Amino acid sequence: MILVIDALNRHRFGSVIDDMFKLRARVFHDRMGWDVTVRNGREFDLFDDLDPAYLVALDDDYNVVGCNRMLQTTGPHMLTDVFQDILCGEPPLRSATIWENTRFCIDTERLKRPGNSRSVSYTACELMAGIAEYAFESGISDVISVVDPAMDRILKRCDNAPYGYLGETVQMGKTKALAALSDITEERIARIRNFAGITGNIFADENEVADALAARAAGDAMTPELRDYCDAQVAAAATDDERQAALALQEKISQMFRSGRNCNA
């Protein structure tokens, strides 16, 4: 499932964003060796302060297994302000309907663990489809993706090939980078879905995710006996009001445990 996080709901998903920054550090710094800034095991930069839209892939247990970042090209963005060498002197594209897609990555380690029901390739395609569908519904006509040659090959293999490129492929530190252009159309969305066998709605319900994360946080703070009791109350709820009441009780008990731990620290 794909969770969309932007300036309007970012306050609800602090733990998801934190896990996303940790994933980015593991992928771009540790695995790929990019020259990125990592602080306390988290990778983020000045563009994360510009209220971008994040599309975050979650597994069935609401763990972060993939992510990407989207920014309008009318303001600061990576191709113009960091990867300008790619343009080779050409003026950057700037339009309210052209957005930049960066920091696309997948948690291959988590997805390859025994018992995980999602594959790396399916998750990557689901995230690609999410980008295209989010852009289509938002009135975005084109997406620029700053990628390395390996990612460019993955796009082509997933029937999501760019229709063109800006500038040239240039050396950027330990790897090469290029700017790929993708038109946002129903045909592109259909191709990605058909390739991966994706059906139905892929976007997560914000309230369901927020409730699940709150319940997990509450459960982490409680004893096993109380956690089982609260889980049973939530499962037995017959109406939405009963479910919300059970979740509220769970959170209240969790807060009591956390407060007790803080007092003893």
Q: What is the pLDDT, as a whole number, of residue 23?
A: 94
Predicted confidence at residue 259, as pLDDT, reads: 55
108, 138 in Cβ contact below 8 A?
Answer: no
The confidence score (pLDDT) of residue 263 equals 43
Instruction: Report strand pairing: 98-106 vs 142-147.
Output: parallel
By the 8 A CB rule, do 70 and 101 touch? yes
* φ and ψ of 176, to 5 deg: -105, 160
Residues 56, 67 contacting (CB under 8 angstroms): yes
pLDDT in tens for each of the 265 residues of the chain? 999 999 999 999 989 999 999 999 999 888 888 888 899 899 999 999 999 999 999 998 899 999 999 999 999 999 998 888 899 888 888 999 999 999 999 998 888 877 777 788 899 999 999 999 999 999 999 999 988 888 899 999 999 999 999 999 888 767 788 999 999 999 999 999 999 999 999 999 999 998 888 877 766 655 667 767 777 777 787 887 787 787 777 767 766 665 554 444 4
Q: Would you state the structure tokens that stand for residue 164, as one six-digit string?
A: 């063109």
Residue 265's pLDDT is 41
